[in-house]
Copies of this chain bind each other. A is one copy, B any other.
């Protein structure tokens, strides 16, 4: 798989299991001999076997979340030279941390790099839903304003009780921003945090029953998979349907679908 000529043979090999933009790929190729899974067109087992059989097998893998490839025991078995797995997102749900630890494979994620942007975007989506920004924009763009009159009013943000599931790097930033809008912050996490004055709910169903809006900002793992289920959504009996909104700022496996 190594190309002949140039200095590519002296660069360390890295597994690249991510659809990346041109800038990222170019930066990676300057420093590594990049073994690109998606460009290879091969099935994963064949790709990994070829990488492992090279004279200088890869000691690192760059992977992305989203469920397409899992770094699990069979992945690690296929490339025993791996000493390090780097994921370009915050979540570890596609990486078997226990298996990595057992084999001494280091795992790194993006840390807090995206936390602020994710929090900003989550607040942007919340304002969009309550104030119907993009829905009203579609109404205007399809010519309905002159024909059918003003778009219906949106919903106030201030005074709204926002229940945040997971008050970590992202959740605490969302809380800080929504406080400035006059929202009342409630939260659920593994345990109450002494550093904040927000009201703590030990279980998600109670949180939902006392919140107008739910924000999911926790890591996705076995304990939080389907953390927002039918019971949680039905726990908001006193909230008019139009105020019910579900914001999953991370990924949809937090939410139990189709039930």
Contact = CB atoms under 8 A, between A and B. Distances in A.
Interface in A106-134: 116-117, 120-121, 123-125, 127-128, 131, 133-134
How many copies altogether? 2
A141 to B, nearest CB: 8
A128 B120 contact: no
A176 interface: yes
Contact of A124 (B19, B127, B177, B179): B127
Interface in A132-159: 133-134, 137-138, 149, 154, 156-158
A27 interface: no
A138 B180 CA distance: 29
Contact of A120 (B120, B125, B131, B138): B131
A137 B120 CA distance: 17
A149 B120 CA distance: 23
Given A116-B182, A120-B158, A181-B120, A133 B131 contact: no
Contact of A134 (B137, B181, B182): B137
Given A123-B127, A125-B133, A134-B133, A117 B156 contact: yes
Contacts of A120: 127, 131, 156-158, 181
A134 B127 contact: no
6 contacts: A120-B127, A123-B181, A124-B128, A138-B138, A177-B180, A180-B180
Interface centre among A19, A138, A156, A157 (most CB of B within 10 A): A157
Nearest to A182: B116
Interface in A163-180: 176-177, 179-180
Nearest to A158: B116
A156 B157 CA distance: 22
Interface in A79-121: 116-117, 120-121
Nearest to A154: B121
A27 B154 CA distance: 21
A116 B154 CA distance: 13
Contacts of A133: 121, 124-125, 128, 133-134
Contact of A127 (B127, B157, B182): B127
A177 B182 CA distance: 9
A257 to B, nearest CB: 18
Given A124-B131, A128-B133, A177-B181, 6 more contacts: A116-B156, A120-B127, A124-B127, A124-B128, A124-B133, A133-B134
Contact of A180 (B124, B125, B127, B176): B176
